[in-house]
């Protein structure tokens, strides 16, 4: 079977009948002994966080679980169950929506911070370069709904400060993000504070996660709200509830 020998290769799991090892640990030693966030960290990265790192990581996961049914992902979950889908398909429909625009801001914010990192002492030039390449929407700052301030961000940044004080992370991305916030606000002549994507990006970057994982971890976190809303809608009932109110007309042309 030499031609299949390299088909799937994984360092995550090794098993045989009666034995499951995850990242080298017998699963029965993990169950009941590691927290769910520690398990997420172990599975995705292979190593284990310190208690202070795990605490900061957990705060980020907790913070992003929901933003209500005006978020397309939550709406998709609720619509899906009214179309008769069970929870797994409803959750998939919703997570699928977390694309570049709806679920990508955290990933893009880490990329922004890493870009700024390569322009030491020149935040303004770094931002100009970024805008030239990616357009004027700066990921991680400002919020079209939560004005002036997304209530999740300051709380998360408080916890980042505690983690830096405890030596759980270096604080370099914290500084970059705060400098970016100042620079962007000055340019706009009004506060453009960090939003949840910016704050979780600081946390994930401080803890050493690669940018795409900010999106992946957001998907895990938002899946909680998705499940909660899908389940609530199942209990409420309803059939084929669409995304526009009954009686609302959506055509361009009146005849």
Among 109, 156, 164, 168, binds a second copy (CB under 8 A): 156
Say how many C-beta atoms besides its own lie within 10 A of residue 50's C-beta: 13
Closest to a second copy by CB, 125 or 154: 154
Pick between residue 167 and residue 243 the one whose CB is nearest to a second copy.
243
> Which of 30, 123, 166, 178 forms a contact with a second copy (CB under 8 A)?
30
Q: Check binding of 20 to a second copy (CB under 8 A).
A: yes
- Residue 96 contacts a second copy per CB under 8 A: yes
d(CA 179, CA 43): 33
Alpha helices in 189-246 (DSSP H): 196-206, 211-236
- Residue 252 CB, shortest distance to a second copy, in Å, is 5
The C-alpha atoms of residue 185 and residue 155 are separated, in whole angstroms, by 20
Q: Is residue 86 near a second copy by the rule CB under 8 A?
A: yes
Name which of 95 and 180 has its Cβ closer to a second copy.
Answer: 95
Tell which one of 10, 132, 135, 136 touches a second copy (CB under 8 A): 10
Closer to a second copy at the Cβ: 184 or 230? 230
Q: What angle do CA 153, 95, 192 make, to 5 degrees?
A: 25
**Residue from the set 95, 109, 116, 202 that interacts with a second copy by CB under 8 A:** 95
Q: How far apart are CA 50 and CA 244, in angstroms?
A: 47
Residue 101 interacting with a second copy (CB under 8 A)? yes
Alpha-carbon gap, residue 74 to 93, rounded angstroms: 10
Q: How far is the CA of 232 from the CAs of 79, 93, 226, in angstroms?
A: 12, 16, 10
Residues 127-146 that bind a second copy (CB under 8 A): 145-146
The minimum distance between CB 70 and a second copy, in angstroms, equals 4
Cα–Cα distances in angstroms (integers) from residue 225 to residues 54, 192, 203, in the given order: 21, 27, 21
Q: What's the number of CA atoms in the CB half-sphere (13 Å) around residue 148?
A: 6
Among 155, 182, 187, 190, contact with a second copy (rule: CB under 8 A)? 155
12 vs 38: CA distance, rounded Å: 15
Q: Min. distance of Cβ 116 from a second copy in angstroms?
A: 23
Verify binding: residue 255, a second copy, rule CB under 8 A: yes
Q: Report how far apart the first and last C-alpha atoms of the chain are (Å, whole number).
A: 67
Query: Contact between 166 and a second copy (CB under 8 A)?
Result: no
Size of the site for a second copy (CB under 8 A): 121
**Token output for 40:** 């997420």
CB atoms within 10 A of CB 73: 25
Is residue 217 a contact residue for a second copy (CB under 8 A)? Answer: yes
Nearer to a second copy by Cβ, of 125 and 212: the residue is 212
Q: Is residue 118 part of the contact set for a second copy (CB under 8 A)? A: no
């Amino acid at each position: 079977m030499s031609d299949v020998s390299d088909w799937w290769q994984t360092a995550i799991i090794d098993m045989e009948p009666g034995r499951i090892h995850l990242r080298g640990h017998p699963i029965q030693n993990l169950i009941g002994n590691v927290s769910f966030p520690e398990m997420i960290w172990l599975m995705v990265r292979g190593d284990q966080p310190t208690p202070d790192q795990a605490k900061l990581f957990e705060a980020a996961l907790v913070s992003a679980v929901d933003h209500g049914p005006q978020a397309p992902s939550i709406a998709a979950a609720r619509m899906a169950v009214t179309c008769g889908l069970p929870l797994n398909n409803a959750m998939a429909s919703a997570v699928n929506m977390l694309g570049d625009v709806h679920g990508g801001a955290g990933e893009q914010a880490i990329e922004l911070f890493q870009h700024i990192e390569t322009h030491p002492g020149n935040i303004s030039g770094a931002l100009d370069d970024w805008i030239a390449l990616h357009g004027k929407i700066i990921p991680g700052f400002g919020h079209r709904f939560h004005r002036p301030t997304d209530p999740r961000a300051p709380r998360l940044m408080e916890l980042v400060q505690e983690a830096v004080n405890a030596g759980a992370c270096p604080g370099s991305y914290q500084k970059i993000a705060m400098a970016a916030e100042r620079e962007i606000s000055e340019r706009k002549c009004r506060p453009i504070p960090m939003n949840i994507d910016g704050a979780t990006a600081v946390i994930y970057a401080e803890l050493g996660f690669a940018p795409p994982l900010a999106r992946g971890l957001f998907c895990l976190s938002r899946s909680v709200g998705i499940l909660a809303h899908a389940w609530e809608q199942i209990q409420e009932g309803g059939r084929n509830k669409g995304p526009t109110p009954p009686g609302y007309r959506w055509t361009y042309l009146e005849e």
